[in-house]
């Protein structure tokens, strides 16, 4: 039973990794033209944020 759960978890991980890779490789126009891609047309790029560690790091 444990082996079956590990296999399912591995397959899900591969599926999510493949989906993320495909999304990263597509242009913003193609992503917006895809079904459910309406949000990519209206959203502005996210501002970059510095982590708490980088704020305390000497400049």
pTM (2 d.p.): 0.53
Q: What are the pLDDT digits (tens) for 7-31?
A: 999 999 999 999 999 888 888 888 8
pLDDT level of residue 58 (50, 70, 90 thresholds)? low
pLDDT value at 50 more than 60: no
Q: Please give the pLDDT value at position 43.
A: 58
What is the DSSP track for 2-28? HHHHHHHHHHHHHHHHHHHHHHHHS-H
Around 2, how many Cα atoms within 13 Å sit in the side-chain half-sphere? 0
CA distance 53 to 59: 12
Average pLDDT of every residue of the chain? 78
């Amino acid at each position: 039973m444990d082996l079956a759960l590990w296999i399912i978890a591995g397959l899900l991980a591969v599926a999510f990794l493949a989906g993320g890779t495909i999304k990263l490789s597509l242009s913003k126009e193609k992503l917006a033209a895809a079904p459910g891609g309406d949000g990519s047309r209206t959203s502005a790029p996210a501002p970059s944020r510095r982590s708490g560690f980088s704020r305390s790091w000497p400049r």
